[in-house]
Amino acid sequence: MNLKKRLILANAATVVIPILITVFIAAAFLFISGRLLGNDVSLENYQRLSQIKLELLKTETGILRQTPEIVAEETFQRHLQEQLAAINGELIIVQDEKVIFQSLNLSKIDLAKCLAAGNLSRAAEPVVVGDVSYSVQTIPLNFKDGTQGSVLMLAPLDQAAVTLTRFLIVIGVTFVLAFMLTNFLVSYQFSRSILKPLHNLQSAAAEISRGNLDQTIIEEGDQEIRALCRDLELMRIKLKDSVHTQLKYEDNRKMLISSISHDLKTPVTSIKGYVEGILDGIANTPAKTERYLKTIALKAHQVDQMIDDLLLYAKLDLNQLPFDFARTDIEEYLKLCLLESEAELERQGIKVSLHNELTQKQAVFLDRERMKRVIMNILDNSCKYMNKEQGQIEILLRDTPTSVIVEVRDNGSGIPKGDLPHIFDRFYRSDAARSKGSGLGLAIAKQIIAGHHGRIWAVSQGEEGTSIMISLSKS
């Protein structure tokens, strides 16, 4: 449920529930009063009660407009009695503590109760005379001779009208109490449904801020809060991956420094040794001196090649080396690459051939210079691990519905199965050939192929050699 719906339901509940409770209490009150106590709680009785009060008010106002002495006249007394008779009321006139007129015969006890009620406030309890309850309304009089008196008007009270008044009070109080209680409960539940998920979210955020990235953020609460928890959980996962990647980069950096130190140490040590040999006079003949110098030049070239490979790999790894793609016929391109390497391969006694199994001419988008580096690195790698008297390298071209496959297959020493998953990692070399190359050739090839949105992998042919497979999308 989202917050908007919950808010609408909460507001509706604060109104509907008190009304339902009030209706239930009202029904229970009417049932008890009507069925069990026999009281008739009806609108007619309430109207009748209101009519009585109105008639009393009119009568009181009429008397106040007259002179007080007129109440002693029989004509006025009869008129006043007729007015009260319309509502079945009774009249008592008192002058100087003596009753000078009463419309009904009252016992001394009833008369005393009426006089006592008349001396009290208008909110006094009703007076019961016989079986009838009367409300007593008193009008004080001051006569010209200095005596005081009063007019007591007795209005009959219907029990049903009293019950109706109580009924209205009960339902009013019930509605107010139900409204207050419902507001409290709804507000508590509404705030709990929001505050509890926010509290859990705050606790998880505190754990993450302390570096505990394994603290899972649970999705709970309303729709908006769940969406917030989901986004924060994704952020936590990405942050954890970022930290993991950073640690991995740090480990790679340490390994890089270690590998560079190891790889550069060997040729630099050789250079130092041969230079010292020349300086110490060990190379005491022109032929020996020339051999020492050629070895020094070769080792220096190896150091230079390692540095170039390292810089190239670093630029590729940081995506700082732009690619210049062009639509290229793959067969013609491979022929040119082999033409440049053919002389060197023949010098090493390696025969190279190209077999085109494409059904038709195929073109791909590639960076000619970068892809040439891939082909040369693969060919150099095959030459380094060639252990046959007659070395052979075959390049096979074939296609799939969406890509062109370039396979470079040699008949060299092959790659152990345990090494296959790692040969494209930087500085990874098998122990048997630890001293050969910089260890970055295939790693550079992988980065360049990735820049072409292609794929490169190796297939071991056992003792018969190795195949390096390159998959490039058709243009």
Residue 340's contacts (CB-CB under 8 Å, 6 or more residues apart) are 372
What's the rounded Cα separation, in Å, for the pair 156 and 446? 109
- Is residue 30 classed exposed, middle or buried when 0-12, 13-18 and 19+ CB atoms within 10 A define those classes? middle
Question: What local confidence, expressed as pLDDT, does residue 203 receive?
Answer: 86
pLDDT at 431 over 50: no
- The pLDDT value given to residue 434: 40
Tens digit of each residue's pLDDT (9 = 90 or more) over 251-285: 766 766 666 676 677 788 888 888 988 888 888 88
- The rounded percent of the chain whose pLDDT value lies above 70 is 82
Q: What is the pLDDT of residue 123?
A: 45
Checking if the pLDDT of 11 tops 70, the result is yes
Reply yes or no on whether the pLDDT at 46 is more than 60. Answer: no
CB 415 within 8 A of CB 431: no
Do 411 and 391 contact (CB within 8 A), yes or no?
yes
Whether residue 233 is predicted with pLDDT greater than 90 in this model: the reply is no
What is the rounded average pLDDT of the residues 184-188?
Answer: 83
> Is residue 241 helix, strand or coil?
helix
pLDDT at 371 > cutoff 80: yes
Are 66 and 151 in contact, with CB atoms under 8 Å apart?
Answer: no
**Residue 434 gets which letter from DSSP?**
T
How many CB atoms sit inside 10 A of residue 197's CB?
19
Please compute Rg for the chain using Cα positions: 56
Give the H or E element holding residue 156: strand 148-157
Strands (E), 14-97: 90-95
Section 227-250 average pLDDT? 84
Angstrom distance (rounded) from CA 333 to CA 356? 12
280/274 Cα distance (integer angstroms):
10
Query: CA 295, CA 456: separation in Å to the nearest integer?
Result: 35
**Residue 359 confidence (pLDDT) above 60:** yes
Q: Is 290 exposed, middle or buried (0-12, 13-18, 19+ CB in 10 A)?
A: exposed
On whether the pTM is more than 0.75, the answer is no
**Structure tokens belonging to residue 121:** 């406030």
Per-residue pLDDT for 321 more than 90?
Answer: no
Look at the block and give the residue holding tokens 């079986």. Answer: 131
Quickly list H helices, 144-210: 159-209
Domains of the chain: residue spans and CATH: 39-157 (3.30.450.20), 223-316 (1.10.287.130), 322-473 (3.30.565.10)
